[in-house]
Amino acid sequence: MSESPREKARRRAKQLKRLVEDLDAVRAMRLFNVTDTLRLIRVLGLEDEVWQKVSEALTNISTILIKHPRFPRIKKVDSFSTYLFVFSFIASLVSLVLLLLNIELFLAYIVLLISLVILNISYLTKLYVSVSVHRVYLENSKEIEKYSELFKKAVENGLAKLRGELRKAGIDPTGIEFKLYYNDYSPLVEVKSRGRIHVLKFR
């Protein structure tokens, strides 16, 4: 069954809101995995000059980590963490089966304990990866900051498109809340702030 015009507008509005929030997070250096952001730009069919420049900027940002000397080590640790998590999950299933069948209870508890220890190690290695990735981007912050005005312009462009889609969907734009890191977007007015997060609505 094909979408009705309202359903299509509602879907596009949801995607545009996500895109606006993603670009704001990239601008604030809080989001570094831009794969979904690039996908949203393609899905929404945003192809004018501004969005072409945004896509190029996001692609450049995505290569910062890959080009860094520590990337091979970070990648290895990330893969190791994934293997640990899978092993921990399998071990916990084995211990659960042993407990349910009331077989080798002592062994079941030992396996369960081992799985919990490995799970914690997995979380610690993931934390190491997250901190390492963040550090790489902080070291290259100027490379991201130079796109700040472009991302701001793209967010405001996206907000204009979002307002139009909301009206097509029969939704009052002024009822939509945004939680963003920046509060300098002209179509929005700040309602309140929570630390670094600004809660904004359409004017």
What are the pLDDT digits (tens) for 4-55?
Answer: 889 999 999 999 999 999 999 999 999 888 999 999 999 999 999 999 999 9
What are the pLDDT digits (tens) for 162-174?
Answer: 999 999 999 999 9
- Give me the pLDDT at residue 126, please: 94
Enter the pTM of the model. Answer: 0.82
Burial of residue 168 (CB within 10 Å: 0-12, 13-18, 19+) is: middle
- pLDDT-derived band at 1, boundaries 50, 70, 90: low
